[in-house]
Amino acid sequence: NRAIILKQRPVGKPTASDFEFLKDDSELTIKDGELLLETNYVSVDPYLRGRMSDAKSYIPPFEVGKPISSGIVAKVIASKHNTFKAGDYLAGMLPWKTQQISNGEGLTKVNKDLAPLSAYLGVLGLTGLTAYLGLTEIGKPKAGETIVISGAAGAVGSIVGQIAKIKGLRVIGIAGTNEKIEMLTSDFGFDAGINYNETKDMNAAIKAAAPNGVDIYFDNVGGPISDAVLFNINKFARMIICGAISVYNNTELPTGLSVQPFLVKNSALMQGFIVSNYAEKFPEATKQLASWLADEKLKYTETIVEGFDNIPSAFLDLFDGKNKGKMIVKI
Ligand code: NDP
């Protein structure tokens, strides 16, 4: 049995030396009410960077010397549990271990005949819920409006854009490579895309892609990309602040927004979004996502990295944009 612990809190961009692999050869034996789980798929996510620091946030930080945890799909190898049986596949937040004992709390049975197991960490998991609930609860999209999405070719962004298309919006995605832009417009039905790495004047590029202005901004990245979008918002625009990956590794506190005048003059709404605030809506939202998936109105893509050893590097690669769609490690 192997585990990955947080060796030290990263300063700036995390590196491989912030993680440590542990090995334990003792046999895992379960008691009444317990399960023995074998990890199959591990979700790596940008938000884990926040939990690696000890700054106060909406969830407690990881402890140094303890395993890191994230969304995992695991197979039940042995069970003395009332609900879950050997052979079942379960999804939930679990520590980065190859095998582990659990009392089943917080875990949900998933059906591998309904969707591939990895989908329960993406479109049918927190990723899909974040996209759907962020867009509908804060964005309140109306047909004919224009939405801009940053981090558009990532896990959340690629789903947001497709839902916005289903709702009848003009959809513009911002991402870091031409290949990603091509995927957004050709495979996912986005109306336009902007490669921020090859665009000198983002303000002008957004203006050109959104001639009627921006009604909704789904922000996954923060920083200068977001400032450029804000220069183009319409009256009563809504901005979903879902993430800010471009500043997660900053070592100094960001200075205040200088775009407030654009919010004032447009009576715009900017709201931070945390998916867990909407937990009571998860069942209904999951049902909607599964139905769009079944009807092929919603597609998804994944970048699957193989091997327990590669969990830290897959996580680090998120900050270099190595993924298209959901980054997942298959064990
Ligand atoms: P992604 O799949 O989008 O992966 C991260 C992507 O961010 C990369 O592929 C990369 O794409 C882009 N990126 C990396 N560095 C930068 C940078 N400096 N500037 C601009 N883009 C960058 O991750 P997720 O879909 O899982 O998460 C997206 C965002 O949503 C994150 O900020 C995350 O923290 C947040 N989130 C928030 C939740 C909530 O409840 N609030 C829940 C889940 C996610 P590219 O090649 O385009 O640069």
Q: How far apart are CA 117 and CA 11, in angstroms?
A: 34
35-43 and 326-330: which strand pairing? Answer: antiparallel
Query: Residue 274 CA to chain centroid, in angstroms?
Result: 11
Q: How far apart are CA 126 and CA 324, in angstroms?
A: 17
Q: Tell me, what's the pLDDT at 319?
A: 97
Asked if the interface predicted TM-score (ipTM) of this complex is over 0.95, the answer is yes
Q: Is 220 in the pocket of ligand 1 (CB under 6 A)?
A: yes
Which DSSP letter does residue 83 get? S
Query: Which residues make Cβ contacts (< 8 Å) with residue 280, sequence separation at least 6?
Result: none
Cα 101 to averaged position of ligand 1 atoms, centre (Å) = 31
Q: Is 43 in the pocket of ligand 1 (CB under 6 A)?
A: no
Query: 83: buried, middle or exposed (CB in 10 Å: 19+, 13-18, 0-12)?
Result: exposed
* Tens-binned pLDDT, residue by residue, of the chain (331 aa): 999 999 999 999 999 999 999 999 999 999 999 999 999 999 999 999 999 999 888 889 999 999 999 999 999 999 999 999 999 999 999 999 999 999 999 999 999 999 999 999 999 999 999 999 999 999 999 999 999 999 999 999 999 999 999 999 999 999 999 999 999 999 999 999 999 999 999 999 999 999 999 999 999 999 999 999 999 999 999 999 999 999 999 988 776 667 788 899 999 999 999 999 999 999 999 999 999 999 999 999 999 999 999 999 999 999 999 999 999 999 9
Q: Is 156 in the pocket of ligand 1 (CB under 6 A)?
A: yes
Cα 152 to averaged position of ligand 1 atoms, centre (Å) = 8
Q: With CA atoms as reference, report the closest residue to 318 among 71, 49, 90.
A: 49
Cα 319 to averaged position of ligand 1 atoms, centre (Å) = 8
User: What are the backbone dihedrals phi and psi of residue 65, each rounded to the nearest 5 degrees, phi first?
Assistant: 90, -5
Measured CA distances, 75 to 18, 240, 248, 297, 327 (Å): 28, 36, 33, 30, 20
Cα 244 to averaged position of ligand 1 atoms, centre (Å) = 7
E strand or H helix at 238, and its extent? strand 233-241
In this structure, which long-range contacts are made by residues 21-25, counting pairs with CB atoms below 8 Å and at least 24 apart in sequence? 21/309, 25/1
Nearest CA to ligand 1 atom 10: 321
Q: How far apart are CA 122 and CA 326, in angstroms?
A: 6
Domains and CATH numbers, the chain: 2-122+301-330 (3.90.180.10), 126-276 (3.40.50.720)
Mapping DSSP to helix (H, G, I), strand (E, B) and coil, where does residue 21 land?
strand
The strand pairing partners of 101, in sequence order, are 36
